[in-house]
Structure 1
Amino acid sequence: MKSPADMYKSVEGAQEIPPYQRVQKLLQGAIVKLEQAQLAHKEGDMALRGELMGDVVTIIGFLQAALDMEKGGEIADNLDALYDYMTRRLGQFYLDQSLDSLVEVSKLLGDMRDAWDGVAEQMKSA
């Protein structure tokens, strides 16, 4: 499994783009990997599904570790709790094998990505 640092480095051009765009790319990558994991599950490819879900957990862990809990205040606390929740929901999948948890986490990540898209628009107009 890739380390969070390796996952971050794998985001194409990560060092040349602003931090908010890095977050957008990581969120999008997690969404794509969850979609691929759902397909792998439906096709019975458990090894690929496990690898993809491991990547998603790594991305979420990286985003969580990057939170500045001192400066971030309530927003950082809420994001930390949300990342914990998403990780638990992904773990729940292994217990019940229901795609509901994967769909839920994918939606949550999509909502977060959409919010960061709004940040990107604000940054462009500033």
Structure 2
Amino acid sequence: MFGSSQMNGANAYAKVGIETGVIAASPHKLIVMLFDGAIVSIGNAIQHLNAGEIAAKGKSISKAISIIDNGLRASLDKKSGGDIAVSLDALYEYMNTRLILANLNNQAELLLEVQNLLKDLRSSWEAIAPTTASTVEPPVLNTDALAPRSAKFLEA
């Protein structure tokens, strides 16, 4: 009784954290989050496969396929992305094919292959992260923040 309600509360808390992260994330960070989601889903699929939980394995693989197809592939701009976008599209299609085969044949090695490809892409994506204002040091002010200031009043 306590375990299920506690787990539901934890899941709800995690979901709120993810939703808040998505709202505040830059487009670059959103792609990283998609990579993370697919990597975690494949890791879950491997655990379910090893535990003999076939239905849960299939659900996790389906989630990874959905993230790759509806997230990563859908975000590609083939017009302005040129050859890189076309190559990534083909790689994402390859990953989905491998995931389907892994699901059908219960092959953990195919799951690991796709997971490693996603990790490599994530690392590359992180390496090209744009610098943000938070990485730039704030300017040094020549005033004492605690010093008293003269009041300015408006007269009517």
Structure 1 CA distance for aligned equivalents of residues 38 and 103 of structure 2: 18
2:41 to 33, 39, 49: 33
The number of residues matched between the two structures is: 116
The one-letter amino acid of 2:73's match is: Q
Q: What is the Cα-based RMSD across aligned positions, in Å?
A: 1.8
Structure 1 CA distance for aligned equivalents of residues 96 and 32 of structure 2: 19
2:131 match: secondary structure: helix
Q: TM-score, normalised by structure 1?
A: 0.84
1:110 to 113, 116, 119: 119
Structure 1 CA distance for aligned equivalents of residues 18 and 27 of structure 2: 12
Stretches of 4+ aligned residues off by more than 3 angstroms = none
RCO higher in 1 or 2 (8 Å CA, sep ≥ 6)?
1
- Larger Cα-atom Rg: 2
Q: Which residue of 2 aligns with 1:57?
A: 65
Structure 1 CA distance for aligned equivalents of residues 62 and 107 of structure 2: 17
Q: Which residue of 1 aligns with 2:12?
A: none
Structure 1 CA distance for aligned equivalents of residues 123 and 76 of structure 2: 19
**Is contact 1:60–1:87 with CA below 8 Å preserved after alignment?**
yes
The one-letter amino acid of 1:58's match is: S
Over 3 Å counting, the alpha-carbon distance change for 1:94 and 1:50 in structure 2 is closer
Which ranges of structure 1 fall in alignment gaps of 5 or more residues?
A: 1-9
1:66-103 alpha-carbon deviations (Å, 9 max, x no partner): 21111110110010010000001111113432211100
Structure 1 CA distance for aligned equivalents of residues 85 and 18 of structure 2: 23
Structure 1 CA distance for aligned equivalents of residues 113 and 61 of structure 2: 14
**Is contact 1:11–1:26 with CA below 8 Å preserved after alignment?**
no
Structure 2 CA distance for aligned equivalents of residues 101 and 112 of structure 1: 17
Alignment of 1:1-126 (within 5 A): 11-12=18-19, 13-62=21-70, 63-120=72-129, 122-124=130-132
Structure 1 CA distance for aligned equivalents of residues 18 and 98 of structure 2: 25
